[in-house]
Structure 1
Amino acid sequence: MPDLFALTKAHDVRGLVPGQLTPGVSRALGLSFAHVVVRPGGHEQMVLGRDMRASSPELAEAFAGGVSAGGVDVLDIGECATDQLYFASGKYRSPGAMVTASHNPASYNGIKLCRSDAVPLALGSGLTEVRDLAQWLLDRGEVHGGALAASRPGARRRQDTLPDYAAYLHSLVDLENLRPLRIVVDAGNGMAGLTAPAVLGAIGSGCEMVGLHLTLDGSFPHHEANPLDPSTLVDLQQAVLREGADLGLAFDGDADRCFVVDERARPVTASAVTALVAAREIDKERARGVPATDITIVHNATCSRSVPQLVRRLGARPVRTRVGHSYVKEAMAEHDAVFGGEHSGHYYFRDFWRADTGMLAALHVLAALGGSAEPVTMSELARPFDPYVQSGEMNFTVADVPDVIQRVRQWAEAADPHVAIDTDDGLGLVSVAGQAGFWSLSLRASNTEPLLRLNVEAADAQTMDEIRDHVCSLITAAEAGCPRARSGPQAG
């Protein structure tokens, strides 16, 4: 019997196909979604999208069957990026479901769910109830409806949303009068192969997009669509140098995350991009007459300290959240934030229903680079937003997470009397001795994988190396398991 408790993560459903996530499970989730979210919300329709994985059409078809059995109409937008699904949820004021496993390998698939206007479902905010009813249906063998079958099955129609999605993104960023830019985009055979030509390839102003791995192929024949892993950036980095490009952009499988490589083929941290876009959004709000003190920017627990420092310097208010899109979106709504960013490459915009869209963040980067009064390179543009030396994320397989976190905390309290401690999301440490000796770290369990994630930053390389190496030694000495070190930010 399928176990939805094992499949349901903090923010979505995800598992191996066909071993864990089957058409029957997908149909049960669709029927449950209709009864728990769509109909109680007063909606007669939901929006359904899917990525390019080989298993996605069958899983999407099964989910649609469950929704229809629950008496709800299905607006099927076909293959799309996750942020394109969010766009459709907002445009049509309908709950939505996206069949995707994001950056996971080809053997995985999953389903992301949202309420109308792209409001997320997570454990504690609706996903638990969807999971529990679906499990009940599976246990009783009633995935085809049973007692929950509606007297009138829902209808199904198809809609191409790509042109409207691209036009809407263009309406949110001033792309007039950009200097010509040469942009390399690596879609990794993911959904950016569909959306990047429609959005980035239509900028004009002499800008040219050079595409890599744009063919949609869920087997990922060239490399995984996971720019979180530095090895997947090699093709992009080589192409940027070969083409003499101004920058490179990499997207994950469902194209909701964007990563930037500068003209020297060096990764630009997502924290630097967050700070850059935050500055632009603050300027835009102030130009509308909004006082800086009324402008809020959200950042997650693993973002560089440079992000809140920049926001305060510009007179606006930073708000820190736990890692994960539902937490960021919740904070965005609570504080009416204009923008939010995560160190994992998720970027959230109030003008985009507070949802995450890497493509819109990419447009902001291009507008900043190509629209500057004095031409600058991408590395020059990013430098002021990235003042600290960062370790990149390191991932450890650890059996006893609380014990390891406690050991690191005890070391920090004994070693540095100036350390500030935050336990809202794992363990956050900040040395407050002063700018010269500044360092910080985040140590937290992943929301999506059985890993402990470590990020360290400092004012100088020597301090960063010392803190990173000592904490790594504490982790590996306390627990079996070798670190899986990666130099780039990771998800969830």
Structure 2
Amino acid sequence: DENGRYINSAVIGALIAEHYLATNPGAKIGYTGLTSRSFEEAIKRAGGKPVLMKVGHAFIKESMRKQDVLFAAEHSGHFYFKDYFFTDSVTLTLLAVCDAYALVKAEGKTFSEMMAPHLEYEQTEDVVVMVKNKEVALEKTRVYLESLQPKKLKKADGYIVDFGEVWGMVKPSVTEYALKLMFESKKKSLAVKMQKDLVKFVKSVAKAE
């Protein structure tokens, strides 16, 4: 933003989704399990239909075509547009952000003020843990997560887990023998602790076959 603060890609995605939904009410907007919860919540508030997708550009493009999704955002900073053959475009992303900002700037607001409603949550950085067998390690991780009695544990491109104050995802890497983990909370310390605890567990089963 104008203060040099890094903005999570989910926040940019939320801004673009709101911008498009203003003229396309009820449209489908895609997100992944690694994307901040703020993005999904913004879609719902703006009257859109959130569509959960598998992480990875090939999977996202395929899902967008099959489900006629208007726009999708990935935590890695890729933004996909139906109007650009369901592929990602830096140019369209920049144009959408500039269009949205022009509206709030006319009201005297700064870029950071425009982003403020989407900055409620704090995410950890992705952590990748190498394992010998992704399927075995993921199943053992599922059992471990269940033992912690989460409010919700959903199978989706891995597992999305919600403990109430902290939530996140563990998924198999597409390109490596590894599991990827990310957590989020209103308090960064809770997300970091949960991620550290789970990384420790995954490392303990990393050699399982």
Q: TM-score range by the shorter chain?
A: 0.7 to 0.9
Instruction: Specify the code of the residue in structure 2 equivalent to 1:369.
Output: Y
Partner secondary structure for residue 23 of structure 2: helix
Residues 11-90 of structure 1: matches in 2 within 5 Å?
none
* Alpha-carbon separation, structure 1, partners of 2:5 and 2:160: 27
Work out which of the residue numbers 69, 78, 87 in structure 2 matches 1:346. Answer: 78
Residues 58-457 of structure 1: matches in 2 within 5 Å?
262-285=1-24, 292-293=25-26, 295-372=27-104, 373-422=106-155, 424-431=156-163, 437-457=164-184
Structure 2, unpaired ranges of 5+: none
Kindly state the Cα deviation for residue 311 of structure 1 after the two structures are TM-superposed. 1.3
* Alpha-carbon separation, structure 1, partners of 2:89 and 2:76: 12
Kindly state the Cα deviation for residue 361 of structure 1 after the two structures are TM-superposed. 0.8
Instruction: Specify the code of the residue in structure 1 equivalent to 2:4.
Output: A
| Larger-gyration structure (1/2) | 1
Q: Residues 343-367 of structure 1, C-alpha deviation per residue, up to 9 Å, x if partnerless? A: 1111111111221112211222223
* Alpha-carbon separation, structure 2, partners of 1:402 and 1:335: 28
Partner secondary structure for residue 467 of structure 1: helix
* Alpha-carbon separation, structure 1, partners of 2:128 and 2:90: 24
More relative contact order in 1 or in 2 (CA 8 Å, sep 6+)? Answer: 2
Query: Is the contact made by 2:54 and 2:60 (CA closer than 8 Å) also made in structure 1?
Result: yes
Q: Residues 184-211 of structure 1, C-alpha deviation per residue, up to 9 Å, x if partnerless? A: xxxxxxxxxxxxxxxxxxxxxxxxxxxx
* Alpha-carbon separation, structure 1, partners of 2:195 and 2:145: 12
Query: TM-score normalized by structure 2?
Result: 0.88
Kindly state the Cα deviation for residue 390 of structure 1 after the two structures are TM-superposed. 0.5
* Alpha-carbon separation, structure 1, partners of 2:134 and 2:202: 10
Aligned residue pairs, count:
206
Partner secondary structure for residue 108 of structure 2: coil
Query: Is the contact made by 1:297 and 1:319 (CA closer than 8 Å) also made in structure 2?
Result: yes
State the identity %: 27
Kindly state the Cα deviation for residue 458 of structure 1 after the two structures are TM-superposed. 1.4
Structure 1, unpaired ranges of 5+: 1-261, 286-291, 432-436, 481-492
RMSD: 2.0
* Alpha-carbon separation, structure 2, partners of 1:395 and 1:375: 42
Query: Is the contact made by 1:412 and 1:419 (CA closer than 8 Å) also made in structure 2?
Result: no
